[in-house]
Structure 1
Amino acid sequence: MGIIANYQYLSNRNLKEMKLFYNEAVEDIEDVKDGNDDIEIQFGMDKMWDAMHFVLTGVGKDDAMENNPLSEAVFGVNSIKNSEEYIAYTQKSKVKDIVLALEDFDIEKALDNLNMSRFKKANIYPNTWDYEEDADKIREELMTYFQRLRDFYKKILEVNGNVVIIIC
């Protein structure tokens, strides 16, 4: 068992309800019924969320970058402060920027330069970077997760939705 990341479609109504539940400001949410409460688009990155962020940005979870669509693809734009686990959301207005950044990112080049010692030195979760012989397997896993993350955001863009990210 470990700390895993889950990404899910969120309608305007559900985003508003989540923010109200956590005593967050709700004035920036359209009060339009989007009729999409029953859409189910989700993606799980298991334990590779911090490694993915490191591949995309060169930094780990403690240095997540504001106004960086690649960082926001993994950690969201706004985090919920009154929660025991990490919960963040990205409103639909930011999804297109994330999709464009993911589409422009050269994942193959980034993974070609992958070095297990860099992950270990940066203290990237999960701490399994001692085995250089696993590098090809990890590259393949990160490539798969990258493609799924990009496809997830593309689907969210198609339905004009918001995203909730839970890491626990």
Structure 2
Amino acid sequence: MGINSAYYAFPQPQIEEFKHHREAMLAFLEGETEANPVAECKLGVMWDALHFVLTGKGTGHADPATTERFLMQAVVGCKDMSQRRKIVSYADAEQVRKISDTMAGISLELRGYSFSGRLAELIGIGKTDTPVQRINSHTLFRQLSTANIYPPVWNSESGELEFWRGKIVKAFGQLQEFYKKAAEQNCGVVVYIG
């Protein structure tokens, strides 16, 4: 259970329809009606941790005007249509291409925490002249815990931290591949976190 995330790629005309008929988008997201997304990605509970790893901030503290905006938008979308405690948003096909291009230049590795130099600079932990930045897992997990990043597992035992580290890296790869497919097919994306 928990607060899960799902990402759906649709051709731009369907995104336009959803933008003008919010109820139709909500009915699809709540399983009341069917739609046929071109691609979908479900990250489960890893959305907030992935957002923090990509931007250095929790989802409640992100600034869409900053340099990491496309990384932020990859996780929470661009145009907010939220209701109550759920995040409902979308990104047009043009924004999806920018998100995909930004994510394409980033690598997270499973062994150790490795960030491309570009990502390290974006989130303020390094410089782009260094191809890979290694970050101590315990330091990262301390930061996740201090920032109250969901899910609340970052004070776990070492063995469990390796499990969660793997989950973050896997979630990044899934989201990166999803946005690549969406951009290649000129799709917009609907984001649902709830």
- The TM-score normalised by the length of structure 2 is 0.73
How far apart are the structure 2 equivalents of 1:137 and 1:61? 22
| Structure 2 Cα separation of the partners of residues 77 and 40 of structure 1 | 19
Query: Does the aligned pair in 2 maintain the 1:64–1:75 contact within 8 Å?
Result: no
Provide the rounded CA distance (Å) in 2 between the counterparts of 1:75 and 1:88.
7
Following superposition of structure 1 onto structure 2, how do residues 13-162 of structure 1 map, counting pairs within 5 Å?
A: 13-22=13-22, 38-67=36-65, 68-81=69-82, 83-84=83-84, 85-108=86-109, 109-110=114-115, 112-113=134-135, 114=137, 115-133=140-158, 134-162=160-188
In the TM superposition, what whole-angstrom CA distance separates every residue of 1:117-142 from its partner, at most 9, and x where no partner exists? 11110010011111141221111111
Task: State the shift of 1:106 in Å.
Answer: 3.4
Secondary structure of 1:9's aligned partner:
strand
For 1:38 and 1:106, the matched residues in 2 are separated by 30
Q: Is 63-72 or 41-50 further displaced after alignment?
A: 63-72
Offset of residue 112 of structure 1: 4.5
Q: Which amino acid aligns with 1:162?
A: G
Number of aligned positions between the proteins:
154
Query: What is the alpha-carbon distance in structure 1 between the residues aligned to residue 36 and residue 76 of structure 2?
Result: 24
String of CA shifts for 1:109-163, please: whole Å, max 9, x gaps: 2495232211110010011111141221111111111111010001001110000
Residue 69 of structure 1 and its aligned partner are, at CA, apart by: 0.8
Task: Give CA-to-partner distance per residue, 1:8-45, whole Å, 9 cap, x none.
Answer: 0122332223222338xxxxxxxxxxxxx745300000
How well do the aligned residues superpose, as a CA RMSD in angstroms?
A: 2.0
Aligned mates of 1:122, 1:2 — CA distance in 2:
18
TM-score by length of 1: 0.83
Identity %: 29
Deviation at 1:100, TM superposition (A): 1.8
Q: In the alignment, residue 104 of structure 1 is paired with which amino acid?
A: G
Structure 1 residue 47 displacement after superposition: 0.2
Report which of the two has the higher share of strand.
2
The offset of 1:48, in angstroms, is 0.5
- SS of structure 1 residue aligned to 2:186: coil
Tell me, which stretches of 5 or more residues in structure 2 are unaligned?
Answer: 24-34, 116-132
